[in-house]
Amino acid sequence: MTEALTLTPQALQAFRLDVRAFVQAELPTATREKVRLGLEISKAEMLAWQARLAARGWLVPHWPQAWQGQGWSPAQRAVFQEEMVAHHAPEMGGITFEMLGPILIRYGSPAQQQYFLPRILDLQDWWCQGYSEPNAGSDLASLKTRAERQRVDGDDVYVVNGSKIWTSYAQYANWIFCLVRTDVEARAQHGISFLLIDMQSPGVTVRPIIGIHGWHLFNEVFFEDVQVPVAQRVGEENAGWAIAKSLLEFERLNLARVAENRRRLAKVRAIGESVQEAGVPLRERPWFAERFHTLEVRFETLAATVLRFRQRAEAGHRLGPETGMLKLVGSTLIQDIENLAVDALGPDTLAYDRDAHFTPAAPQLGRSEYAPSASARRFVTRGYTIAGGSSEIQHEVLAKQVLGL
Ligand SMILES: Cc1cc2nc3c(=O)[nH]c(=O)nc-3n(C[C@H](O)[C@H](O)[C@H](O)COP(=O)(O)OP(=O)(O)OC[C@H]3O[C@@H](n4cnc5c(N)ncnc54)[C@H](O)[C@@H]3O)c2cc1C
């Protein structure tokens, strides 16, 4: 990694304005509107936005400069993210850019890096994450998808059988990175390998799971005698667990979702100003004002804590398991913000309109523009305290590893 330069406050402000000007000029209006209203972005819209970022050199600013990274300081990365979110840019595909890319940069063979990283940078590949299984979520090490090494037609391959579940956006992906069991005799964590699997391989099937929110986010992925070249294993055989765990380091500072919380809070503020109850704007109704201001205070506390962590990282300190609290607090806060949005909009949020997932609903007199997506949004964020380590697991980590209980 290249040493990041810490900018002066003036230079950081100039950088902020530069990012702001870019997003204001380049983000297509239709995409901005959809993000502002909480609608789902199509793959084509996402790729179009990513292509603009790539053209500006900002697709993967956090990667090393050898791979088109920008060498930004943590503060710059935070400012970049804040401006993107404040101007309703879609959230980036974290699985490809935040997970798989950094894993290949750290653990991939030169051949894997040369093949896969340029394809990510060219937006040819969309990756999904195949970790969870029907009986392996929090207890991920108990996963059972089996990869047996065989020689087929003179080639060394793994033959993969099993299934993954909750695979986000597998319907968009052409590659999946999977944790698979390569040794059934070894202790759970020691018999797992990290495989890169082409979704077009014979024997791979994707089945959608439509959530209560109506969104097609989740999928099941089935593997039936899927042949995967041994050269597509990352790291040593049976060393996949350590690679998977190291992902945590890549995402630590993002876990609090500060920028996303800020955007959602701004949305609830807009609701408070535009929606009336008993003839006055909601922001003047005590029940709303009290809940909204409490959320604001919680948000500012979170943002200040994250800033403190960021400064520690910037000063060269390694962050430990205490960052688990950022995920815990940030994901709960988002849910409370979305709950207030639904409570504020009331029965108007109940009518379910499937078309409103991808297209802004036609304006209806007396119905807030935020109403059609409010329930779906609330249910989507319900998953935030489960994905990436549930709140119960975070509490356990904090109790054992931080407080020594
Ligand atoms: C929005 C979202 C996106 C996701 N995307 C992906 C993806 O792309 N790829 C992927 O592989 N997976 C994905 N997942 C799956 C996610 O990783 C799992 O849901 C998560 O690990 C929890 O596993 P589980 O659902 O099997 O629940 P379980 O592990 O069965 O847990 C059920 C309940 O028991 C509690 N519990 C479990 N163990 C303990 C314990 N030791 N102590 C206290 N309480 C405990 C949990 O907190 C939870 O409340 C996604 C999930 C969500 C919600």
Structural domains in the chain, CATH included, are 9-92 (no CATH), 127-240 (2.40.110.10), 255-402 (1.20.140.10)
pLDDT classification of 251: cutoffs 50, 70, 90: low
The number of the ligand 1 atom at minimal distance from the alpha carbon of 95 is 8
Q: What is the mean pLDDT of residues 80-108?
A: 90
CA diameter of the chain: 78
What does the pLDDT read at residue 5?
60
Q: In this predicted structure, what is the pLDDT of residue 183?
A: 97
Q: Is the pLDDT assigned to residue 285 strictly greater than 70?
A: yes
C-alpha 24 – ligand 1 centre gap (Å): 37
- Residue 352 above 80 pLDDT? no
Distance 374 CA to ligand 1 centre (A): 24
Which residue's C-alpha comes closest to atom 2 of ligand 1?
387
What pLDDT is stored for residue 60 in this prediction?
A: 93
Q: Which two tokens stand for residue 180?
A: 């698979």
Residue 94 beta carbon below 6 angstroms from any ligand 1 atom: no
Q: Is the pLDDT of residue 96 over 60?
A: yes
Q: Write the pLDDT tens digit of every residue in 332-342.
A: 999 999 999 99
Q: Is the pLDDT of residue 253 over 80?
A: no
Kindly state the percentage of the chain with pLDDT values over 90.
70
Token output for 215 = 């969104």
Query: Which pLDDT score, from 0 to 100, does residue 112 have?
Result: 98
pLDDT tens digit sequence for 295-329: 999 999 999 998 888 778 767 787 788 888 899 99
**How many Å lie between the centroid of ligand 1 and the Cα of residue 168?**
13
Q: pLDDT confidence of 1, banded at 50, 70, 90?
A: very low
pLDDT band at 91 (very low <50, low <70, confident <90, very high): confident
pLDDT of residue 2: 40
Whether residue 202 has pLDDT greater than 90: yes
Give the per-residue pLDDT at 194.
98
Q: Does residue 241's CB lie within 6 angstroms of at least one atom of ligand 1?
A: no
pLDDT at 81: 85
Task: Summarize the confidence of residues 15-24 as an average pLDDT.
Answer: 98
pLDDT surpassing 50 at residue 87: yes
Residue bearing the bigger pLDDT, 7 or 302:
302
**Does the Cβ of 372 fall within 6 Å of ligand 1?**
no
More confident residue, 72 or 53: 53
Alpha-carbon span 54 to 121, nearest angstrom:
7
Catalytic residues: 251
3 pLDDT above the threshold of 50: no
* Residue at 16: amino acid letter: R
Query: Which atom of ligand 1 lies closest to the CA of 138?
Result: 29
Question: Which residue in this structure is represented by tokens 């688990």?
Answer: 324
Residue 238, SS3?
A: coil
255: confidence class by pLDDT, cuts 50, 70, 90: confident
**Pocket of ligand 1 contains residue 386 by CB under 6 Å:** yes
Contacting residues for 244 by C-beta, under 8 A, at least 6 apart? 131, 140, 179, 192, 194
Q: Pick the residue whose CA is nearest to atom 43 on ligand 1.
A: 392
Among the residue ranges 58-62, 155-159, 292-296, 322-326, the one predicted with the least confidence is 322-326
Q: Are the C-beta atoms of residues 331 and 257 closer than 8 Å to each other?
A: yes
pLDDT of residue 92: 76
Q: Is the CB of 141 under 6 A from ligand 1?
A: no
pLDDT beyond 60 at 233:
yes
Buried b (16+ CB within 10 A) or exposed e, 15-32: beeebbebbeeebeeebb
Atom of ligand 1 nearest to the CA of 132: 11
Is 117:104 a contact under the CB 8 Å cutoff?
yes
- Among the residue ranges 222-236, 257-271, 352-366, the one predicted with the least confidence is 352-366
Residue 103 has pLDDT above 60, yes or no: yes
Confirm or reject: Cβ of 168 under 6 Å from ligand 1: yes
Single-letter residue type at 48? A
Q: Which of 250, 249, 245 is nearest to 235 (CA)?
A: 245
**Atom of ligand 1 lying closest to residue 386 CA:** 53
